[in-house]
Amino acid sequence: MVGYITKMYFWFERCIRKLFLIINLVQLRRLAHKDRKQVVKQKGKSVVTREIKKAIKEYARERFGSKAYWPYLAYYSEMRGEFIKGWIPDDYFTTVVEPKLNPLNYSNISGVKTYDHRLFGEFAIRPFVLFISGLFYDADLNLIKEGQLKDVLSDYNGELVLKEEFGFGGKQVRFIHSSEFKPELLRRGINYVIQPSIKQHKILNDLYPDSVNTFRVASLFKKDGSIEIKFVILRFGVNGVKVDNMSSGGQCLYIDPFGIPSKVAHDNLGLAVGEKHQNTGFVFADLKVPMLEDIMESCKTAHLKYPYVGLVGWDVCIDEHGKPKLLEWNAYNSLYAWVDALYGPFMADDNEIE
C-alpha cells in the first residue's frame, strides 16, 4: 500500500510539472508574438516573409525537435533584420536549456542575497546589516540587537540600499539615508541586505549619474572545468530612474571582447534608442572600459567558487577606484535572449547546452 501511494505521489508530481511547463510555454510564446508585433510596428515593416518563416520552422524542428519553437526565432529575426541559424529561442532556453545547466536545487541560492559576500568575498559588497529570519546580524553573522542598530550605522552618514532576497528587476530595492533607517521599514517574513550605496566610476557616472550602471556578464562553466565569457553588456538607467534594470525601463550597450561598445543602445525589446544617452547626451561610442579584463576575470573566479550551475549572469559595477564589485548574480533568468538575437548567436554549439 505504501509503495502504491509513493508511486501515485510521484506520478501526480510529474503531471503537475508537465502542466506548469505547458502553461509556461504558452505564456512565453504569447509574449514572443506580442513583442514581435511591437518591433514590427516600431520599425514599420516585417522581414519575416513566408519563405523565411518556413526556414525558421524547419530550423526549429531540426535543432529543437518541434516547429512550435518558431515564434521567438521570428521575433529575433525582426530585431536583427535577418534570420540567423544558431539562435536559441527563449521558450526552449527557459524550459529546457537552463533547467539542465542550472538545476533548480542549485540555482535558487543566487536569490539568497544575504549570502553573497560570504560566498564571493571581496568581489561582493560587504553589507552593514543583514536581516534574516526576523533578526539582525552583522556581515559575519553576529547577532545584533535592535537597540544596537543605531550604533552600527552611526559612523556612516550616507545613502543605504535595502535589497530584498529573491527580488527581481530592481523592484524590491529601496534607497534611504542612513539617518532614516528604522526596523519598521522591513517587511516581516522577508530577508534583507542593508549595504552602502556604492560610488561608481567617473565614466559610468558621466554616462548616467542617477543609477549604479552595471555590466551583465554571462559566464558558462564548460565541460573541461574552465569558464568562458559569452557576452558583456552595460546597462544604464534613464529619466531619473535609480535602477538600471531593463525590466524597469533601463537601456544597454553591447561591449565586445576588446572593450569597444556598440554605437547604438537598445531597450528591453531590442529596439535601437539612439547613439547617445537621452538625458546626459553622453555619446556611447566615446565610452572606454579599461577595466573590462578585470571584470571578466572576477566573474570567472566567482563562477569557479560555485561550480554547481553552468550559466550565470553576473551584475557587476565599477567603483570609484576602478574595482569590480558584484551587485548580484543570476542563475535563474541568466541570459538575455534578445542580446543573443542582436549580437550572437553565442551558444550555437549544441554540446554546450546538453
pLDDT at 7 over 60: no
pLDDT (0 to 100) of residue 319: 95
The rounded distance, in Å, linking the Cα atoms of 208 and 252 is 12
The rounded distance, in Å, linking the Cα atoms of 193 and 183 is 13
pLDDT (0 to 100) of residue 316: 97
Contacts within 8 Å (CB) and 24+ apart, 151-156 = 152/128, 153/128, 153/129, 153/178, 153/181, 156/128, 156/196
CB within 8 Å of 349: residues ≥ 6 apart: none
The rounded distance, in Å, linking the Cα atoms of 74 and 50 is 11
The rounded distance, in Å, linking the Cα atoms of 214 and 343 is 19
The rounded distance, in Å, linking the Cα atoms of 110 and 306 is 10
The rounded distance, in Å, linking the Cα atoms of 216 and 214 is 6
pLDDT (0 to 100) of residue 1: 58
pLDDT at 19 over 70: no
Average pLDDT, the chain: 89
pLDDT at 74 over 60: yes
Provide the pLDDT confidence category of residue 178 given band limits of 50, 70 and 90. confident
Q: What is the pLDDT of residues 159-177, one digit of tens each?
A: 899 999 987 655 678 888 8
Q: What is the pLDDT of residues 203-226, one digit of tens each?
A: 999 999 999 999 999 999 999 999
- Strand duo 265-266 + 272-274: pairing: antiparallel
- Answer whether 286's CB lies under 8 Å from 260's CB: no
Spatial CA neighbour of 335 closest among 216, 171, 166, 249: 216
More confidently predicted of 20 and 123:
123
- Exposed/middle/buried for 57, CB within 10 Å: 0-12, 13-18, 19+? middle
Highest mean pLDDT among 9-23, 61-75, 331-345: 61-75
Q: What is the pLDDT of residues 81-92, one digit of tens each?
A: 999 999 999 999
Query: In percent, how much of the chain has pLDDT > 70?
Result: 93
pLDDT (0 to 100) of residue 155: 73
Supply 160's cell numbers. 543605504
Spatial CA neighbour of 262 closest among 206, 205, 343: 343
Average pLDDT over residues 133-150: 88
Backbone angles phi, psi at 232, to 5 degrees: -135, 130
pLDDT (0 to 100) of residue 168: 64
State the DSSP code for 93. I
The rounded distance, in Å, linking the Cα atoms of 148 and 128 is 12
Spatial CA neighbour of 158 closest among 141, 178, 188: 178
Spatial CA neighbour of 28 closest among 75, 60, 63, 64: 75
pLDDT (0 to 100) of residue 5: 58
pLDDT at 9 over 50: no
Provide the pLDDT confidence category of residue 20 given band limits of 50, 70 and 90. low
Average pLDDT over residues 64-79: 96
Q: What is the pLDDT of residues 275-318, one digit of tens each?
A: 999 999 999 999 998 799 999 999 999 999 999 999 999 999 99
Query: In percent, how much of the chain has pLDDT > 90?
Result: 67
For residue 99, the surrounding DSSP H or E stretch is helix 98-101
One DSSP character per residue, 111-167 reads G-GGGHHHHHGGGBPPPSEEEETTEEE-TT--EE-GGGHHHHHTT--SEEEEEETT-
Q: What is the pLDDT of residues 112-122, one digit of tens each?
A: 999 999 999 99
pLDDT at 201 over 60: yes
b/e burial code for range 1-12 (CB count within 10 A of at least 16 → b):
eeeeeeeeeeee
- Answer whether 91's CB lies under 8 Å from 71's CB: yes
Domain ranges in the chain are 2-99, 105-110+201-333, 126-196
pLDDT (0 to 100) of residue 21: 64
Fold entry, domain 126-196: Dna Ligase; domain 1 (3.30.1490)
CATH of domain 105-110+201-333: 3.30.470.20
